């Protein structure tokens, strides 16, 4: 549509309260105007949206929209969902840095892994009454490894053969430069270790789109809770990666491209900031402390040099705020950028007081 044809305009709509069609209200609909001819070298695609009501659509339809150059798109010409020039300018800032797989200027290298498939591997745990916990996406929230909806999964030879993966990361961004042997060794290192997992099923319209969590050792994961296997980077790098993933700024970037899944293609197409040593250290320590909520994570806490145990709500919020502020600072965001960013989240997701304190902390760090 973009390379072999001339795409003139894209308008995006969200079917909130079924104002367009009698179908799912959270799907995004694209209206496309294109011609069957090669685009000129200086061609720009007009993008407008996202209208959530008839009234908004009537204004959007007569608007000039935003002119997007090729570099404004995500991998594979993924179209960002943008509502204003301010959002387009903010996204341009967030598309500078390192590709996710090569985290923060090479501080880590990782690839996503689906451990067990809900459908194809069901025979390994179906009907079981004992075994290790099998978690899915609903089993955790950000920094909250509660384990809800877990099922027992017997730990045997057949299961171990399955989770060691014959060809892990074959389609990942690292596949061309990291040997299969090295990728298999990375997976084996992750097994029985505290791992960084994230929810596969999510939407740009959810309160938070990226929901990542450190899951405890001796837990298996379904394809709805993929995890990251690290080629390079120790536990501090894992916790720094987790902190960036769960930050408001990274979440906002993801919301520009996610529809109903944070799939591997989208995740590896996202950008992370190039952190300086102070920010890397602070984010890593803060995310590690948020993650080590009980003695299941005692080994990880020791490796990252943090205390282990429950946190007060006040201390948890302070740590999250520090991560959010330092990620924003690393991308050189201004307070105006921050105002554009937080407007995408509800007050339930990001309360007014948190927004105020985040702005104050960003000013103090800048």
- Asked whether residue 74 carries a pLDDT value surpassing 80, the answer given is no
Counting residues of the chain whose pLDDT is more than 70, the rounded percentage is 100
| Residue 152, in any domain of the structure | yes
In a shared domain, residues 239 and 114: yes
Write down the pLDDT at residue 105: 82
Same domain (yes/no): 293, 149: yes
pLDDT at 27 over 80: no
Q: Could you give the percent of the chain with pLDDT greater than 90? A: 83
Above 80 in pLDDT, residue 317?
Answer: yes
Q: Please give the mean pLDDT across all residues of the chain.
A: 94
Mean pLDDT across the stretch 103-128? 93
N-term to C-term CA, the chain: 42
Residue 90 lies in a domain: no
3-class SS shares of the chain: helix, strand, coil, % to 5: 40, 20, 40
Say if 255 falls within a structural domain: yes
Q: Are residues 136 and 250 in the same domain?
A: yes
Mean pLDDT value across residues 252-259: 92
- Compute the average pLDDT of residues 44-52: 90
Non-local CB neighbours of 238 within 8 Å, separated by 6+ positions: 108, 196, 214, 228, 230
Please say which residue of 83, 107, 134 terminates a domain: 83
Query: Two tokens at 285?
Result: 């320590």
How do residues 120-138 score in pLDDT, each as one tens digit? 999 999 999 999 999 999 9
Count how many domains the chain has.
2
Based on the fold, state whether residues 316 and 250 are members of the same structural domain: yes
Listed range (41-55, 76-90, 274-288) with the worst mean pLDDT:
76-90
Q: Are residues 60 and 127 in the same domain?
A: no
Whether residue 1 lies inside any domain: the answer is no
pLDDT of residue 104: 83
The Cα–Cα gap between 28 and 333 comes to 28
Domain-embedded: residue 132: yes
**CA 187 to chain centroid:** 20
In DSSP notation, 60-118 reads HHTS--EEE-GGGS-GGGPPP---SHHHHHHHHHHTSSEEGGGHHHHT-EEEEE--B-T
The residue segments making up the domain with residue 74 are 6-83
Do 103 and 35 lie in one domain? The reply is no
* Residue 144 DSSP class: B
Residue 346 belongs to some domain of the structure = yes
| Domain co-membership, 149 together with 261 | yes
Q: In terms of DSSP bridges, do strands 212-215 and 151-153 run parallel, antiparallel, or are they unpaired?
A: unpaired
Instruction: Return the biggest CA–CA distance within the chain.
Output: 63
pLDDT at 83: 81
pLDDT surpassing 90 at residue 164? yes
Say if 93 falls within a structural domain.
no
Q: Is the pLDDT of residue 81 over 80?
A: yes
Query: What is each CA distance from 76 to 30, 114, 257, 269, 334, in whole angstroms?
Result: 17, 22, 11, 9, 29
> How large is the average pLDDT for residues 98-120?
93
Instruction: Based on the fold, state whether residues 77 and 217 are members of the same structural domain.
Output: no
Q: Please report whether residue 186 resides in a domain.
A: yes
- 193-246: pLDDT as tens digits: 999 999 999 988 889 999 999 999 999 999 999 999 999 989 999 999 999 999
Query: Are residue 74 and residue 182 in the same domain, yes or no?
Result: no
pLDDT at 40: 93
Residue 342 has pLDDT above 90, yes or no: yes
Cβ 172 vs Cβ 113: under 8 Å = no
Provide the 3-class DSSP secondary structure of residue 10. Answer: strand
Determine the distance from the C-alpha atom of residue 193 to the mean position of all C-alpha atoms in its chain, rounded to a whole number: 21
Is residue 79 over pLDDT 80?
yes
Asked whether the predicted pLDDT for residue 34 surpasses 90, the reply is yes
If asked whether residues 140 and 229 sit together in one domain, one would say: yes
Domain boundary among 32, 59, 83: 83
Per-residue pLDDT at 106 = 86
For residue 37, the model assigns a pLDDT of 96
Q: Taking the CB of residue 170, how many other CB atoms lie within 10 A of it?
A: 11
Which stretch of 96-105, 285-294, 300-309, 348-357 has the lowest confidence by average pLDDT?
A: 96-105
Strands 6-14 and 28-35: antiparallel
How many Cβ atoms sit within 10 Å of the Cβ of residue 339?
13
Q: Are 190 and 230 in contact (CB under 8 A)?
A: yes
Residues 121 and 73 in one domain: no
The answer, yes or no, to whether residue 72 has pLDDT greater than 80, is no
Q: Which of 83, 113, 130 is the last residue of a domain?
A: 83
Place of tokens 């990291």: 178
Q: Are residues 77 and 194 in the same domain?
A: no
DSSP annotation of 155 reads -
pLDDT at position 266: 92
């Amino acid at each position: 549509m973009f390379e072999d044809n001339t795409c003139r305009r894209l308008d995006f709509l969200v079917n909130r309260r079924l104002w367009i069609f009698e179908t799912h209200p959270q799907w995004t609909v694209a209206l496309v105007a294109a011609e069957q001819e090669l685009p000129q070298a200086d061609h720009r695609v007009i993008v407008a949206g996202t209208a959530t009501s008839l009234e908004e659509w009537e204004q959007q339809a007569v608007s000039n929209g935003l002119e997007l150059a090729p570099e404004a798109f995500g991998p594979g010409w993924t179209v960002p969902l943008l509502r204003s020039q301010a959002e387009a300018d903010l996204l341009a800032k967030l598309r500078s840095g390192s590709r996710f797989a090569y985290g923060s200027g090479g501080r880590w290298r990782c690839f996503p892994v689906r451990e067990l498939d809900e459908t194809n591997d069901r025979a390994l745990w179906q009907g079981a009454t004992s075994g290790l916990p099998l978690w899915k996406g609903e089993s955790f929230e950000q920094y909250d490894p509660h384990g809800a909806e877990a099922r027992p999964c017997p730990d045997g030879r057949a299961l171990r053969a399955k989770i060691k993966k014959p060809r892990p990361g074959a389609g990942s961004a690292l596949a061309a430069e990291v040997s299969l042997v090295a990728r298999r060794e990375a997976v084996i290192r992750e097994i029985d270790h505290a791992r960084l997992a994230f929810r596969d099923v999510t939407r740009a319209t959810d309160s938070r789109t990226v929901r990542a969590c450190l899951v405890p050792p001796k837990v298996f994961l379904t394809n709805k809770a993929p995890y990251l296997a690290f080629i390079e980077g120790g536990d501090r790098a894992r916790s720094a990666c987790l902190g960036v993933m769960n930050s408001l700024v990274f979440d906002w970037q993801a919301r520009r491209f996610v529809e109903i899944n944070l799939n591997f293609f989208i995740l590896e197409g996202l950008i992370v900031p190039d952190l300086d040593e102070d920010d890397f250290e602070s984010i890593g320590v803060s995310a590690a402390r948020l993650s080590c909520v009980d003695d299941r994570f005692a080994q990880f806490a020791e490796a990252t040099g943090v205390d282990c145990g429950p946190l007060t709500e006040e201390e948890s919020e302070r740590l999250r705020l520090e991560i959010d502020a330092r990620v924003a600072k690393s991308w050189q965001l201004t307070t105006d950028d921050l105002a554009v960013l937080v407007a995408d989240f509800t007050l339930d997701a990001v309360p007014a007081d948190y927004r105020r304190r985040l702005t104050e902390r960003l000013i103090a760090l800048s």
